[in-house]
């Protein structure tokens, strides 16, 4: 038992983002499973922690912290001396820009549609909504191409070191790279292709996503 608890199911990309920063910062924590397909996230007790019923939520120092953005910021500052955010103002701003693109433009088509339709629904015995899949290709491609223009690092997104932006994008790539539309949405993103080849086999990535 530790005094840090992460609520959420480890299949969630946002939970994995939190796990990546916690592990990279070598923080011991417990994970309490809160499922999203069985309604755990909408129970009264969980809604008291997170009024929007999303995962993850972190309990630490007697406080409850939700939103991956807040969790990754806190963990990075508290336990890693800020090393997972670039010092340079422009690179740090680019990091937040990539995170914002992921949250606002990539997650919905790439995770809520391509991942759920191709990888989750068949495992639940449900039919794939092909129209939804077709409709998610262009917005996924647009978001990835926008991120591509911001990649200045090697082998990581912004430098030679992992940042919180990598921790957001890795769990999404872990799923979307397994979908039949991956090649199609990645036609114009050679830097992201190289990035994914470099980071996918890192021990940290295998530990959390593998
Ligand atoms: N803005 C939230 C988003 C978190 C989020 O969307 N989590 C997904 C799982 S990856 C979830 O809780 N889905 C459940 C639902 O929407 O009912 C954050 O940054 O933490």
Q: What integer pLDDT is reported at residue 175 of this predicted model?
A: 98
Q: Is 67's C-beta closer than 6 angstroms to any atom of ligand 1?
A: yes
| Angle, helices 190-199/130-148, rounded to nearest 10 degrees | 90
**Which atom of ligand 1 is least distant from the CA of 54?**
12
**Could you report the per-residue pLDDT of 137-193, keeping only the tens digit for each?**
999 999 999 999 999 999 999 999 999 999 999 999 999 999 999 999 999 999 999
Burial class (CB in 10 A: 0-12, 13-18, 19+), 148: middle
Low-confidence residues of the chain: pLDDT under 50:
none
Q: What integer pLDDT is reported at residue 1 of this predicted model?
A: 74
Domains annotated for the chain, with CATH where assigned, are 5-79 (3.40.30.10), 89-209 (1.20.1050.10)
Ligand 1 pocket test: which of 14, 47, 103 has the largest number of ligand atoms within 8 Å of its C-beta? 14
Residue count (the chain):
210
Q: Is 50's C-beta closer than 6 angstroms to any atom of ligand 1?
A: no
């Amino acid at each position: 038992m530790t005094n840090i608890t992460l609520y959420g199911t480890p299949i969630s990309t946002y939970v994995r983002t939190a796990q990546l920063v916690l592990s990279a910062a070598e923080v011991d924590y417990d994970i309490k499973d809160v499922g999203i397909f069985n309604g755990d996230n909408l129970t009264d007790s969980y809604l008291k922690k997170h009024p929007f019923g999303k995962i993850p939520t972190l309990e630490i120092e007697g406080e409850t912290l939700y939103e991956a953005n807040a969790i990754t910021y806190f963990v990075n500052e508290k336990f890693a001396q800020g090393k997972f955010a670039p010092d340079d103002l422009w690179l740090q701003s680019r990091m937040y820009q990539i995170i914002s693109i992921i949250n606002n433009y990539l997650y919905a088509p790439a995770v809520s549609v391509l991942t759920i339709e191709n990888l989750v629904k068949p495992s639940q015995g449900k039919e794939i909504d092909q129209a939804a899949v077709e409709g998610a290709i262009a917005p996924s491609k647009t978001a990835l191409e926008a991120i591509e223009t911001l990649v200045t690092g090697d082998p990581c997104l912004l430098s030679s070191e992992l940042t919180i932006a990598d921790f957001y994008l890795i769990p999404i790539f872990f799923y979307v790279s397994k979908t039949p539309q991956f090649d199609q949405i990645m036609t114009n993103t050679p830097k992201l292709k190289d990035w994914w080849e470099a980071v996918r086999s890192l021990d940290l990535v295998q530990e959390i996503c593998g």
